[in-house]
A = this chain, B = another copy of it.
């Protein structure tokens, strides 16, 4: 049996009916849809400290914990809000759908394109961050940094092409190990100080206090920590990916996700306060805490390793989120339709592949230095949050169902907070790159609207009134106009000629002469062949093949009226080896493309298969 690389990598094709079997339960749904959110937690606390500590010194830990509490509260609000969304949109309710449904197409597309940017950047950033983590353990691999990052992206792409369920197992186990390891660290770390009286000694000196807390400083710290919230979207977007009852399962995953983020983020922030971790460019805050809590034993390495793995896995959320988002957008006609088609293994393969390729290009373009793409990514996510929650707010306000005020209040508050965060992120990071988002979003929205316009126009022109029946057959007309181009007299041409004779007895063999010698030889051979079919030769001074052919068809010399369909029968030989196509068929393909642009030419391709030893 022939070994097929494709099947080996992504598995056999799956039937459409098997879609059900591919769906997620709660246990595997949690890691696959939460790795992004959970991994963000690993550095959210550190990001807060980076903002505070140069100004507030030792006081930072107090405000860090405060900021963390605010974020946990925000998290809680967003979770509540998305629970409502899941109830309202059983078919999947990401920001795109909610915004489109309640605010209109343009806000929907803004949310959709913000998320698209976010997802693509998630993959590039997390694969780079994962590589950095791997390289800090094995510095000898440093020259291969970009290659390793690309291999990671390739690995994620293939894993996701294999399908939802298998990838959830492949990516789920490390996520669970990470969660358990971190929770163990939190519990043990708190016990060590509170029960066993350990007095933590900071590894690094805490900078002196140079200023006082201001609202702006606090808000900056708060927004820096908001990366912890990215990835929540994926759950409510992915409802159709869940086993029945899918809404119930999605809600369970959302709640568990919030719980995990709450425990891990809250716990880590508290530990940072207890152990006075100081962010620096060499050792991460998590690593500092781990080495103080455990010493340099096996647990320290488990924390370090699973952190690296989960950073890589974070891109998995994007791989399950973006293809589904694109499928929604494509179904509405705002993106190429191919995104709405399921591949061999039932995933939206085109979306997965496009995500892999674009994020790979970003990694190459930025040479793996993607960390400063972070602000872009957060701004995009918060724009979509704001739109989604505003959408829900409008929905409740319009419908005025029972208890709507309560629900509207939750979404309204969420919208306000996320909007404020988006503004703060946009302002403080404008020059760092947030401006790129403000350029990209309208650009993407414009493209999407153009695509929609195009599809609508095509549909309008193609629409067939049911009273427009097929034409009456006119056998006189049908036999009129068949042209068989000839280059050399060979079997492939003969097969085309034979075919042409079955559909018409008014055949013209047409030769475009670019080389006088070759034409002379052909004409001599044609004379000898003597089959009573006229040959017409046109010289092509500029060596174009299509030009003279089209000119002839349109000329007075040829009797076809402007309304008659002219048939061109093209011999084409088909080679079985893939590289054979580099050596042949360029001209035939070009002729076909050019001729198809004229309304009244039908092209018949008659294959002649060349067998190769």
| CB-based contact A605/B602 at 8 Å | yes
Chain B CB within 8 A of A218 CB: no
Chain B CB within 8 A of A216 CB: no
| CB-based contact A16/B541 at 8 Å | yes
| CB-based contact B543/A572 at 8 Å | no
Tell me, in angstroms, the Cα distance from A422 to B494 when the chains sit together.
52
Residues 157 to 207 of chain A near chain B (Cβ within 8 Å): none
- With a cutoff of 8 Å between Cβ atoms, the chain B residues found around residue A517 in the complex are none
Residues 481 to 501 of chain A near chain B (Cβ within 8 Å): 488-494, 497-499, 501
A462 touches which of B469, B541, B608 (Cβ 8 Å): B608
Distance in angstroms from A327 CB to nearest chain B CB is 13
Across the interface, name the chain B residue whose C-beta is closest to A469.
B531
Chain B CB within 8 A of A596 CB: yes
Residues 32 to 65 of chain A near chain B (Cβ within 8 Å): none
Chain B CB within 8 A of A466 CB: yes
Across the interface, name the chain B residue whose C-beta is closest to A497.
B470
Tell me, in angstroms, the Cα distance from A596 to B608 when the chains sit together.
8
Chain B CB within 8 A of A604 CB: yes
Chain B CB within 8 A of A477 CB: yes
| CB-based contact A575/B17 at 8 Å | no
- With a cutoff of 8 Å between Cβ atoms, the chain B residues found around residue A528 in the complex are 466
A458 touches which of B14, B451, B575, B603 (Cβ 8 Å): B575
| CB-based contact A609/B597 at 8 Å | yes
A464 touches which of B474, B490, B565 (Cβ 8 Å): B490
- With a cutoff of 8 Å between Cβ atoms, the chain B residues found around residue A567 in the complex are 604
With known contacts A14-B542, A15-B542, A541-B17, A596–B607 Cβ distance under 8 A: yes
- With a cutoff of 8 Å between Cβ atoms, the chain B residues found around residue A489 in the complex are 464
Contact with B along A579-613 (1 / 0, CB 8 A): 01011101000001000111101111111111111
| CB-based contact A477/B490 at 8 Å | no
| CB-based contact A15/B466 at 8 Å | no
| CB-based contact B457/A613 at 8 Å | yes
Query: Is chain A's binding surface mostly helix, strand, loop or mixed?
Result: mixed
Residues 376 to 433 of chain A near chain B (Cβ within 8 Å): none
With known contacts A17-B541, A458-B575, A597-B574, A491–B463 Cβ distance under 8 A: yes
Contact with B along A524-563 (1 / 0, CB 8 A): 0100110100000000011110000000000000000000
Chain B CB within 8 A of A341 CB: yes
| CB-based contact B454/A583 at 8 Å | yes
| CB-based contact A336/B582 at 8 Å | yes
Chain B CB within 8 A of A243 CB: no
Tell me, in angstroms, the Cα distance from A497 to B344 when the chains sit together.
31
- With a cutoff of 8 Å between Cβ atoms, the chain B residues found around residue A613 in the complex are 457
Chain B CB within 8 A of A478 CB: yes
Tell me, in angstroms, the Cα distance from A498 to B13 when the chains sit together.
37
Chain B CB within 8 A of A573 CB: yes
- With a cutoff of 8 Å between Cβ atoms, the chain B residues found around residue A461 in the complex are 491, 610-611
- With a cutoff of 8 Å between Cβ atoms, the chain B residues found around residue A605 in the complex are 592, 596, 602-605
Distance in angstroms from A248 CB to nearest chain B CB is 26
Tell me, in angstroms, the Cα distance from A498 to B602 when the chains sit together.
11
Tell me, in angstroms, the Cα distance from A525 to B477 when the chains sit together.
30
Chain B CB within 8 A of A522 CB: no
| CB-based contact A602/B462 at 8 Å | no
Chain B CB within 8 A of A371 CB: no
With known contacts A341-B543, A529-B466, A607-B601, A471–B498 Cβ distance under 8 A: yes
| CB-based contact A514/B16 at 8 Å | yes
Interface centre among A336, A489, A503 (most CB of B within 10 A): A503
Contact with B along A429-470 (1 / 0, CB 8 A): 000000000000000000000010011011001111010111
| CB-based contact A470/B498 at 8 Å | yes
Chain B CB within 8 A of A1 CB: no
Distance in angstroms from A290 CB to nearest chain B CB is 39
Tell me, in angstroms, the Cα distance from A10 to B592 when the chains sit together.
25
Tell me, in angstroms, the Cα distance from A493 to B531 when the chains sit together.
36
- With a cutoff of 8 Å between Cβ atoms, the chain B residues found around residue A529 in the complex are 466, 469
Tell me, in angstroms, the Cα distance from A505 to B457 when the chains sit together.
33
Contact with B along A80-114 (1 / 0, CB 8 A): 00000000000000000000000000000000000
With known contacts A336-B582, A462-B573, A464-B494, A470–B501 Cβ distance under 8 A: yes
Chain B CB within 8 A of A210 CB: no
- With a cutoff of 8 Å between Cβ atoms, the chain B residues found around residue A580 in the complex are 454
Tell me, in angstroms, the Cα distance from A193 to B596 when the chains sit together.
75
Chain B CB within 8 A of A520 CB: no
Chain B CB within 8 A of A282 CB: no
A583 touches which of B336, B498, B584, B609 (Cβ 8 Å): B336
Tell me, in angstroms, the Cα distance from A607 to B592 when the chains sit together.
10
Please name 13 pairs of A and B residues whose Cβ atoms are closer than 8 Å in the assembled complex, sorted by A. Answer: A14-B542, A454-B580, A458-B610, A462-B573, A463-B491, A464-B490, A469-B529, A470-B498, A471-B501, A473-B502, A596-B607, A603-B604, A603-B607
Besides the contacts A464-B490, A499-B565, A574-B597, what 11 more A-B pairs have beta carbons closer than 8 Å?
A15-B541, A336-B582, A454-B583, A462-B490, A463-B491, A470-B531, A474-B502, A477-B502, A597-B607, A602-B604, A603-B607
Sort A-B residue pairs by CB-CB distance and give the 5 closest, nearest first: A478-B502, A462-B490, A15-B541, A596-B607, A13-B542
